[in-house]
Amino acid sequence: MTDPTAPQQEDVLRLEGVTFRRNGRQILHGIDLTVRAGEHWALLGRNGAGKTTIVGFCAAQTHPTSGTVDVLGQRLGRVDMAVLRKHIGHVNPRHRLQTDLTVTEVVLTGVTGTIDLPMRWAPTEDQRARAAALIDDIGMTPRADSGWHTLSQGERGRALIARALIAAPDLLLLDEPTTGLDVAAREQLLETVDALAVTAPSVASVLVTHHLEELPESTSHALVIRDGTVVAAGPAAATITSDVITQAFDHPIDVGYDGHRWSARAVRGDRRGQTVSSTLIASR
């Protein structure tokens, strides 16, 4: 696995010439992507563009039809994917518990890589201490012993980030982490994500979101796809542009950037600047 003391430019994720077919339908057409340590990527594209399939490769859950996928220096098809997944943090707001665990217990399931705490398993004191430290980092120490069912959606999202980080992953995947959040909860979660650039500077991340305005300030790079083909990839400032987003969504979009945050507005005849429906931007 990746050495956490390695240089910032070490490759964490590399897709080369990746294609994918399902039920006779071509979903991806030659995807190339390289994510290096410390980089924070956004994955954007409209509904059905192939984002979910790409995340499946990043999470070591799916094999490509052709091409190669290297995750943390390991080639899919030549490695035990269950072992590899233990080194990948995955934040999914649709996390479903079978039992009502506390925040601390949910975070500790990140050690075991399970949804619920395994029977006859007990965390070490060091693991408990790390869970407590991460819960403090996300500002939820007062809620550490609260049951999952009592948490707001925003609190759950922050707890899942702590869960993903407890195993000290080299790669963090955030799959629409702001789903179902109001504006205040969204901003709190994005602050938590942005803080990772300081608290875990070597961790690389890939974030999928429905809205450009929900990209964190720490976003450094972006991959924009359309119909399973790369439209643009590279540094965020050069990739998340009006021309690129317009091409990806087949709709005239004016992309704004102010205070390290993005916005998107439609261009319709003389009605320049009309706000785009939220479903148009980076929907799955």
pLDDT at 275 over 70: no
Percent share of the chain, pLDDT over 70 = 91
pLDDT category at 42 given cuts 50, 70, 90 is very high
Look at residue 2 in the predicted model and tell me its pLDDT: 43
What confidence score (pLDDT) does residue 88 get? 92
| CATH code, 211 | 3.40.50.300
Q: Ranked by mean pLDDT, which of 71-75, 85-89, 157-161, 181-185 comes out on top?
A: 71-75
Average pLDDT, the chain: 88
271 is a domain residue: no
β-sheet with 221-226: strand ranges across: 88-91, 171-175, 204-208, 40-44, 221-226, 229-235
pLDDT above 50 (res 92):
yes
Measured in whole angstroms, how far is the alpha carbon of residue 134 from the centre of its chain?
18
pLDDT in tens, 231-269: 999 999 999 999 999 999 999 999 999 999 999 999 876
- Separation between Cα atoms, residue 191 and residue 121, nearest integer Å: 33
Mapping DSSP to helix (H, G, I), strand (E, B) and coil, where does residue 211 land?
coil
Q: What would the pLDDT profile of 176-199 be if each residue is shown by its tens digit? A: 888 878 898 889 889 989 998 888
Looking at residue 100, its pLDDT comes to: 87
The Cα 107–Cα 137 span in angstroms is 12
How many other C-beta atoms are found inside a 10 Å radius of the C-beta of residue 2?
20
Query: Is residue 41, in this structure, part of any structural domain at all?
Result: yes
Q: Is residue 250 part of a domain?
A: no
What angle (nearest 5°) sits at the alpha carbon of residue 198, between those of residues 197 and 202? Answer: 60
- Let me know if residue 261 belongs to a domain: no
Distance from C-alpha of 103 to C-alpha of 90, rounded to nearest angstrom: 17
pLDDT at 87 over 50: yes
pLDDT of residue 178: 86
Ranges of H-type helices in the chain? 51-58, 81-85, 103-112, 125-137, 153-165, 183-199, 236-239, 242-249
243 in a domain, yes or no? no
Q: How many domains in the chain?
A: 1
- What pLDDT shows up at residue 9? 60
Least confidently predicted of 96-100, 186-190, 271-275 = 271-275
The DSSP code sequence of 22-90 is ETTEEEEEEEEEEEETT-EEEEE--TTSSHHHHHHHHTT----SEEEEEETTEETTSS-HHHHHTTEEE
Query: In the block, which residue shows the tokens 């609190």?
Result: 155
The confidence band for 8, taking pLDDT boundaries of 50, 70 and 90, is very low
Least confident of 148-162, 198-212, 225-239, 258-272: 258-272
Domain that holds residue 173: 11-237
Asked whether the predicted pLDDT for residue 282 surpasses 60, the reply is no
∠ at Cα 97 (173, 54), nearest 5°? 25
Q: In angstroms, what CA-CA distances link 243 with 8, 29, 77, 209, 253?
A: 31, 21, 37, 19, 8
Q: What is the pLDDT of residue 207?
A: 95
The reply to whether 266 falls in a domain is no
Distance in angstroms (rounded) separating the CA atoms of residues 132 and 104:
7
